[in-house]
Amino acid sequence: MSGLSHFETEGCRNLLGLLDNDEIMALCDTVTNRLVQPVDRQDAIHAILVYSQNVEELLRRKKVHREIIFRYLAAEGVVVPPTTEKHNLIQYAKDYWEKQSPKLKETAEPVTKTEDIQLFQQQAKEDKKSEKIDFRRLGEEFCHWFFELLNSQNPFMGPPQDDWGPQHFWHDVKLRFYYSTSEQNVIDYHGAEIVSLRLLSLVKEEFLFLSPNLDSQGLKCASSPHGLVMVGVAGTVHRGNTCLGIFEQIFGLIRSPFVENTWKIKFINLRIIGGGSLAPGTSLKPTVTFEQSDLEAFYNAVTLCNSTEGRPNVKQTLDSGTGDQVLGSGNEALLNKRELNLPNPLKH
């Protein structure tokens, strides 16, 4: 049974109508695992709608191109910037369909009393105020989006599903990249262009594939009072059929005030440990080794080190060999107390 609502079903039916016959048949094969043999185009569209678990799963399919969603929204009178990325277009479409239901109710059961309208508006405002963000869900959705997009840039994964670039980062984003393979090193990168290119090179030039573990052991999320959301995720690193090691990554996300439901990356700490650098007997099971309180402490430490009083001592950072702590000359004891409990890799 389809997981799409009535308005999502009708909207997707019209959207799929913009695809050509070959694309529709190929999409039907993908959604149904070739278990359904449609007799014609309309039968294929029906099968796609019935066997899709939810609207986001359907629209995220590679065969549902960004341009198709944009053309559908334009035809429906939903004006969006031409450069809008696919995941944002999907959100626009979902919001548009969600708004159709209240409109239908208003037409069928018109509200005649001014008092009722005012009460409804007041209740809507209160509901919006009391609405809380599910940071765990936000972290999961972000990781799905980030790693799918990044891994799709790997030449062995076929055509990229969307554009990768500095537009996903705040202009002053910082990346701290620590790796321990045949050698240990920690390097800092600053700026959206440099950070996006360095991450891109991992998959496009080094042919790595980062596989996140999004269960309760592999994903932790926390938030600061100022709106910064921290997502900690662990996973395995692959090249082709070979598992090379594990990774742990912390993202700092800040919501964009200009685009609805859009978060951009403020900082990243990426730690990759090759299998040969792990202590004997260490499991390759990707597990986040820090708790939510550690993420909150990490935020406090980062904030402290970005202040004038606590500038990072670069030499101490490099000499420490961990890459997950930044020591300021006047706050070393405090930061050591808040140091993340990450495993110390062993150098060859």
Domain boundaries, the chain: 6-130, 135-337
194 pLDDT more than 90: yes
113 pLDDT more than 70: no
Residue partners of 212: CB distance under 8 A and separation at least 6: 143, 147, 218, 219, 233, 234, 235, 286
Could you give the CA distance from residue 74 to residue 126 in angstroms, rounded to a whole number? 32
**What integer pLDDT is reported at residue 114 of this predicted model?**
53
Share of the chain above pLDDT 90, in %: 32
**What integer pLDDT is reported at residue 346 of this predicted model?**
33
Q: Looking at 77-81, 119-123, 128-132, 246-250, which range is the least confident one?
A: 128-132
Q: How confident is the model at residue 159 (pLDDT cuts 50, 70, 90)?
A: confident
What CATH number does the domain located at 135-337 have?
3.10.450.50
Helices (H), 131-191: 135-151
**What integer pLDDT is reported at residue 7 of this predicted model?**
87
Q: How confident is the model at residue 326 (pLDDT cuts 50, 70, 90)?
A: very low
The 10 Å Cβ neighbour count of residue 4 is 21
The 10 Å Cβ neighbour count of residue 242 is 8
Could you give the CA distance from residue 306 to residue 224 in angstroms, rounded to a whole number? 16
Q: pLDDT tens, 212-223?
A: 988 877 888 888
The 10 Å Cβ neighbour count of residue 153 is 20
